[in-house]
Structure 1
């Protein structure tokens, strides 16, 4: 069975949330079908191309998501909030006549929980500061700051890294290695 794909210019990691505005018929239809069948879809990062309209090229590792909220926005569009549940590998994909991508997915092994070592406490503090922003608070995320995975995933989403850097960090399977590389990126930014 194929799963709908939602290419974005953003990376979403497991347990993360992102708000979206839907207006293209292909995505409105996709959401309707997902709600009817109680299934999710996959967010994948765009390599080249656009979120709106025509085709695009995207990475083969993305995040399976579920709908956590929806509402009509002041601009008349449908606003949804989605939450990542697991990383997935696209093994085959195609684009339908309506422009919607879909693909076969393989759920990747969940990263093991690891307690945040003292050497990365500053990263948890940085994350707490970033989460004070009203747009982030509105997502109602419940972050465990003692969990290496969650600290790393949220920083991947929130830090001003390049798309390629964010994708690389998403694809890592060791939460401690992700934190080390985030620290390295932050050191480079400071220079």
Structure 2
């Protein structure tokens, strides 16, 4: 897999430790693009350190059973996150960074390494080897059923899509992009992240969307929190 100016063939190409960026409700998938605005001093320092090194950052969600009032930077974390590489960065002129991360592969958080730093360092295991292979499992996805539910969601919310672009997109890119952009809650995003294969991710997104549409039909909110 080529990401920016670096190639990643398998888990051995990634470090055993990397800085963690805990973000609730944020999903990054392999080969996906995640734009971020970074403004907290500790994460500005983290980005600077990543740029001076391998440009890698771990995107991971705080656990859902975290007590209210505990900030994301110190909360217990989910077991699975995604390694992202900084592939674009711009300074805003007011002390912030506009960063784009490109997803490489998912990882399991094995623990945290002690470090005298303002941000957290995770010990990781990249045991999702299929993440390094392009378009694995596309033939098993019912693309027509997936697009039918996507179209129903757009119609229910009076939204439009560029159908020419949708038709030209690979099945993997379509499913992963829509999973990342979906307006669902943290638990749903984590379920999409941890889906074992592309077919399961598509089926999970279909199921969540169908539940949302059913709730909307009963005059309940159209997003799942």
TM-score normalised by the chain length of structure 1: 0.79
Which residue in the other structure is 1:69 paired with?
A: 88
Which of the pair has more CA radius of gyration?
Answer: 2
1:2 CA displacement: 2.4
* Contact 2:39 2:95 (8 Å CA) reproduced: no
Change in 2 beyond 3 A, CA 1:160/1:168 = same
How many residues were matched structurally?
A: 179
- Residue-by-residue CA offset, 1:41-81 (whole Å, 9 max, x unaligned): 10001223434xx5112211000000111112264422211
Which residue in the other structure is 2:190 paired with?
A: 167
SS state at 1:46 partner? coil
Q: Distance in 2 between matches of 1:80 and 1:97?
A: 24
User: 2:176 pairs with 140, 153, 160, which one?
Assistant: 153
1:82 corresponds to 2:101: yes
* Contact 2:27 2:180 (8 Å CA) reproduced: yes
SS state at 1:57 partner? coil
Q: Which has the higher strand share?
A: 1
Where structure 1 has 5 or more consecutive residues not aligned to the other structure, the ranges are 133-142
Which residue in the other structure is 2:54 paired with?
A: 38
Which residue in the other structure is 1:139 paired with?
A: none
Change in 2 beyond 3 A, CA 1:130/1:85 = farther
Q: Distance in 1 between matches of 2:40 and 2:114?
A: 15
Q: What is the correspondence of 1:96-111 to structure 2 with a 5 Å cutoff?
A: 96-107=115-126, 108-111=128-131
- Residue-by-residue CA offset, 1:113-164 (whole Å, 9 max, x unaligned): 12356832353584998776xxxxxxxxxx97333x3332222211122210
Change in 2 beyond 3 A, CA 1:76/1:20 = same
Q: Distance in 2 between matches of 1:164 and 1:119?
A: 24
Q: Distance in 2 between matches of 1:158 and 1:103?
A: 26
Change in 2 beyond 3 A, CA 1:92/1:118 = closer
Q: Which moved more, 1:16-25 or 1:59-68?
A: 16-25
- Residue-by-residue CA offset, 1:150-187 (whole Å, 9 max, x unaligned): 33222221112221011011111121121112111111
Q: Distance in 1 between matches of 2:129 and 2:122?
A: 19
TM-score normalised by the chain length of structure 2: 0.68
Change in 2 beyond 3 A, CA 1:144/1:115 = farther
